[in-house]
Amino acid sequence: MELTKVVGLPSEILQESKNIKSQLVNWRRDFHRYPELAFQEKRTSAKIAGILKSFGIDVKTGIAKTGVIGTLTGGKPGPTIALRADMDALPITEMGENDYRSLHQGVMHACGHDAHMAAVLGAAKILCQRKEQLKGKVKFIFQPAEEIATGGAQDMIKAGCLDGVDAIFGLHVWSHIPEGVVRIVDGPMMAAADKFRIEIIGKGSHASLPHQGIDPIVVASHLVINLQSIVSRELDPLESGVISVCKFHGGETFNIIPEKVTLEGSVRSFTEKGADFFHQEIVERTRLTCEMFGAKYHINYHKVVPPLINDKRMAGIFKSAAEKVVGIKKIENGPAMMSSEDFAYYLKEIPGAFCFIGAGKREGGDCYPHHHPHFDIDENALVTATAVMALTAFFYFLKPFKS
């Protein structure tokens, strides 16, 4: 059946999402009150498992330590898709005054994962009520540890969460996109994230006798400038990338030139080729800069997350569903973002797509960024997210695509 022949289903799914708004809000606020850090999501995963079981979904727990997978079998045979939500919170002390603020000191859902879990649970509820109409299976993947460098997506994949899955879809609420707007990009949507640590080893001396030493602070200062010029003078202007030196540590007192200086930073790019280019350039410029001053160095360069690249046809299904929920005028095709997401690992394995659900508050207060102690969302976004995820599953089964 072609997508254009679907009559009534989108409006029904949207209405069903609206009907359970209070439940979506309650789930989200409960997760918000009791946030848990990466691989510590024990209460969170237990609550999710209990809710999924109440729907009649087959549930497996303890996946990659605290992950949960629910499997819904439709009324007819067909492909298997996955809907993914992340579960972990951040080590941030919440500063909001709402009545659902975090009860765990120093831990907060400051990135919207509480909303992601509520939306996927909402989609699960709606799909369960219509399971006889489903032509395949749906896996609901609740992943731990998205927020840390050695995160949960890889561990979930190693544990077999994608076994038998043909396509995967995920979402992220976004506070700087107005509520009611959905952003989906065909192709690169979020950047690869790499990190580096460079230790520059000089020769310590008294501040009054710099000629007797090799000043690693001077070397490191030159290196910071040299690294910044990679993007402005070496990268193809048609490519995109960012190099940020975010930590510069050296010395303990005002009159001693130290022996060592440490630099740490982040690299962002939208292609594997770009990531490799930055890696090579950083190593080479560090070598040349240190050689110029007679210093030594050690580099630790770590590829954290690959670029998140949506499968074009999967993004098309996602977009078709979102258009039915918010209207074609509220679909944004870009821009891509330099932030990163470990959902990218799933997309390296199987076709799929990721989208942003606008969650910027319509009324009252400032719109705080993600990872801010005052971060919050417009909870109307929960209805949008639920409807988009549920409808995407139906649209995929009606016209499955494979790359």
- The overall longest dimension of the chain from CA atoms, in Å, is 82
Please state, in angstroms and rounded to a whole number, the distance separating the CA atoms of residues 207 and 197: 26
Burial class for 90, CB neighbours closer than 10 Å (0-12, 13-18, 19+)? buried
CB-based contact 105:112 (threshold 8 Å): no
Half-sphere exposure in the Cβ direction for 21 (13 Å, CA): 10
**Does residue 88 carry a catalytic annotation?**
yes
Of the residues 16, 86, 88, 341, only one is catalytic, namely 88
Please state, in angstroms and rounded to a whole number, the distance separating the CA atoms of residues 86 and 81: 17
- 205 φ/ψ angles, rounded to the nearest 5 degrees: -160, 175
User: Which amino acid, one-letter code, is at 182?
Assistant: V
**Does residue 2 carry a catalytic annotation?**
no
Of the residues 86, 94, 146, 323, only one is catalytic, namely 146
Q: Long-range contacts for 326-334 (Cβ within 8 Å, ≥24 apart)?
A: 326/180, 326/181, 326/182, 326/384, 330/180, 330/181, 330/182, 331/181, 331/182, 331/183, 331/184, 332/177, 332/181, 332/182, 332/183, 332/184, 332/356, 333/183, 333/184, 333/185, 333/186, 334/183, 334/185
Active site residues: 88, 146
